[in-house]
Amino acid sequence: MDFFKRVLSTVTGIFVFLFICFFFLFIAGYFVSKMGKDDTKVANNSILELTLDYPVLDNAGKVRYKDFSFLDENNKDGLFDLVNAIDYAATDNNIKGISIEPKFIQTGITQTKTIREALERFKRSGKFVTAYADIYTQKDYYLSSVADTVFLSPVGGLDFRGLSAELLYMKDLQEKTGVKMQVVRLGKYKSAVEPFLDNEMSEANREQISSYLNSIWSNLRNEIANSRGLDAEYLNEVADKLLARTPEKAIEVGLADKLAYYSEYEDGLRNAVGIKNTDNLKRISVLSYANKIGNQLNYKYNKDKIAVIYAQGEIVYGSGSVRKIGPKEMNEAIIKAKNDKAVKAIVLRVDSPGGSALTSDLIWKELEEAKKVKPVIVSMGDVAASGGYYISAGADKIFAEPTTITGSIGVFGMLPNVKGLADKIGINAQQVSTNENAVPYSLFEDMTEDQEEFIRESILITYDLFKQRVAEGRGMTMDEVEEVAQGRVWTGEEALENGLVDELGGLDAALQYAAEQVNLDMYQIKEYPVFEYDLHKILRSYGITQTAEDFAKEAVGEELFQLLEEAKSQTERKGIQLLFPYPTDIK
């Protein structure tokens, strides 16, 4: 056994050396990156640059690392950090104006609307807002149309054609490849699974997509028309005939104001802030400014608080993160906000397409408990559909933006199946079982009638429970819920009409309503959840902090390692043993 001990000692030594090297490189890299970040200064006559060329979350998230507090993150690049920065800039004497330089923005439509509204408030301060792009996408232009002056490159372009959606249908592909999805669904509008069932779009799905696209387009068109002093119906004509398809035509139809190269645009900015054409422009990015302002606002204190709990991303039955809604993290946040006496009301900000039905109900239950103690208000972002609506339905009041996608009250089950492919390549699955239904669903066998019936039964129970939660939360009958359910997707504007939401407005409106309910004139926002990570576990999941045992398993293989372990154990056993005589591994 001395040989194996020497092997394990050597492996352990290598592991320790590699880990120490990695650890110090990691720490050095971290502090170098920190040193590279300048302490942002806002010079006089500065211009705030607004470029949104990265995916924006409603909340950037707070992350804490167990035993490594210096790695904690509290980024200020979320949607409402940007909004706070724009609002603050309106009062900052060093900021003279805002330059929108969109560069293919990656915000959602409702997020873009929220930023656009902040820019409108900024304009009311008397400061200027200008926009420049070589190429404007429709979303770029929607945001930029709020500007006092819209600049466009003489060789650029402006896309203005209306909204569309394209779905790929894969029924034939499944039959040809032998790989298909076996689907059980309830609700004629629950169209997420439709591409696996048909080769063409159903009339029901076409109806709902057309409805919400037209609703969103109407809102965008009206806002652009108001900003540009144009008629909304005229903009339909511009879109239908692509009348803004060249820079010159974009000027002619009134969507842009001036053609200029970027250097000429910069001269215009110099003129706007009152400096010479030979002077350097003083700029600060909205991200740098948001971090600076966010750190300043962190020091402002008020004993009364309103909790804002961000539910963003897919709902999963597992660990949550900044981009995923998990039951543990979300319910811990709700409980903390409920039990904190300084927190007078809770606003749940939802930006989620849904996901796990079980997790949705667990979160719904915790929110119901919180409602017994303090008001719970929902603010919907870009999407609050299916499970996202489930967790919203019981709130005391629901706010949505006109462009929010919500509803989708329906349920489906979808299981992959490769029997067709297996038959083609000569794979035949065989099972042995002790009971009639002991064999679970198999990838290599078609779903049996019993299996389909059990799944359908489970889905029906979930669907009925979903409708019940909505009926109770919204004060509707089950029949009334069924009329707006069946998986149908609605915009916030449509949801207001059919009773699924209470009022149109953003997070600011939800916060104002929450404050009114608890008679607060001044309050501090407390954001949840805070995500706590164990760095050791994270690194281990990537094979970085493996133990000597892990390295030995990789070196000799799992089975041989177990034999070595058993031999080692035999030499260490002393005296009488109360031990089961055989290794047990029942599958």
pLDDT tens for 294-324 read 766 655 678 999 999 999 999 999 888 899 9
Q: Are 148 and 90 members of one domain?
A: yes
In a domain, 191, yes or no: no
Overall residue count recorded for the chain in this entry: 587
Active site residue 190: yes
Pairing of strands 530-534, 62-66: parallel
Residue 570 lies in domain: 1-37+558-587
Per the structure, the count of domains in the chain is: 3
**Helices 357-371 + 449-474 axis angle, to 10:** 20
Question: Which two structure tokens, joined as six digits, stand for 492?
Answer: 């916030």
pLDDT band at 178 (very low <50, low <70, confident <90, very high): confident
Q: Are 506 and 572 members of one domain?
A: no
Last residue of a domain, one of 234, 268, 293: 293
Local structure of residue 108 (DSSP, 8 states): -
Question: Which two structure tokens, joined as six digits, stand for 57?
Answer: 């979350």
In a domain, 420, yes or no: no
Q: What is the pLDDT of residue 14?
A: 54
Active site residue 386: yes
Q: Out of 11-20, 88-97, 545-554, pick the least confident.
A: 11-20
Q: Are 357 and 484 members of one domain?
A: yes
Given a contact cutoff of 8 angstroms between Cβ atoms, the answer to whether 142 and 165 are in contact is no
Instruction: Give pLDDT tens digits for 511-532.
Output: 999 999 999 999 999 999 988 7
In a domain, 223, yes or no: no
What is the chain's mean pLDDT, rounded?
Answer: 84
In a domain, 171, yes or no: no
Residues 289 and 274: their CA atoms lie apart, in Å, by 22
Q: How many CB atoms lie within 10 A of CB 142?
A: 23
Residues 358 and 351: their CA atoms lie apart, in Å, by 18
Q: What is the pLDDT of residue 504?
A: 97
In a domain, 4, yes or no: yes
Given a contact cutoff of 8 angstroms between Cβ atoms, the answer to whether 336 and 556 are in contact is no
Name the most confidently modeled range: 206-220, 281-295, 440-454: 206-220
Stated as kind and residue range, the H or E segment containing 99 is strand 95-100
Q: Are 48 and 153 members of one domain?
A: yes
Instruction: Give pLDDT tens digits for 354-385.
Output: 999 999 999 999 999 999 999 999 999 999 99
Q: Tell me, what CATH number does 258's domain have?
A: 3.90.226.10
Last residue of a domain, one of 262, 293, 324: 293
What does the buried/exposed string (b/e) look like for 153-177 if buried means 16 or more CB atoms within 10 Å of the residue's CB?
Answer: beebbbbbebeeeeeeebbeebeee
In a domain, 358, yes or no: yes
Residues 189 and 210: their CA atoms lie apart, in Å, by 13
Give the active site residue among 99, 145, 386, 392.
386
Residues 502 and 378: their CA atoms lie apart, in Å, by 10
Q: Are 505 and 584 members of one domain?
A: no
For residue 331, what are the contacts with CB-CB under 8 A and spacing of at least 6? 362, 363, 366
Question: Could you tell me where the beta strands, DSSP code E, fall in 332-385?
Answer: 343-352, 376-385
Q: What is the pLDDT of residue 43?
A: 87
Place of tokens 């945001």: 143
3-class secondary structure, 78: coil
Local structure of residue 311 (DSSP, 8 states): E
Q: Are 108 and 146 members of one domain?
A: yes
Q: Are 375 and 476 members of one domain?
A: yes
Q: Are 383 and 529 members of one domain?
A: yes
End-to-end CA distance of the chain: 32
* Residue 134 pLDDT > 70: yes
Alpha-carbon distances, residue 371 vs 182, 253, 345, 375, 508 (angstroms): 40, 52, 9, 6, 20
Q: Are 389 and 473 members of one domain?
A: yes
Q: What is the pLDDT of residue 431?
A: 83
In a domain, 250, yes or no: yes
Q: What is the pLDDT of residue 298?
A: 58
Closest alpha carbon to 50 in 81, 24, 71, 22 = 81
* Residue 68 pLDDT > 60: no
Residues 535 and 531: their CA atoms lie apart, in Å, by 12
pTM tops 0.75, yes or no:
yes
Q: Are 106 and 87 members of one domain?
A: yes
Instruction: Give pLDDT tens digits for 374-433.
Output: 999 999 999 999 999 999 999 999 999 999 999 999 887 778 888 888 888 888 888 888
In a domain, 202, yes or no: no
409 backbone dihedrals φ, ψ, rounded to 5°: -80, 90
Q: Are 126 and 140 members of one domain?
A: yes
Last residue of a domain, one of 273, 293, 313: 293
Give the active site residue among 113, 123, 190, 305.
190
Q: Are 9 and 119 members of one domain?
A: no
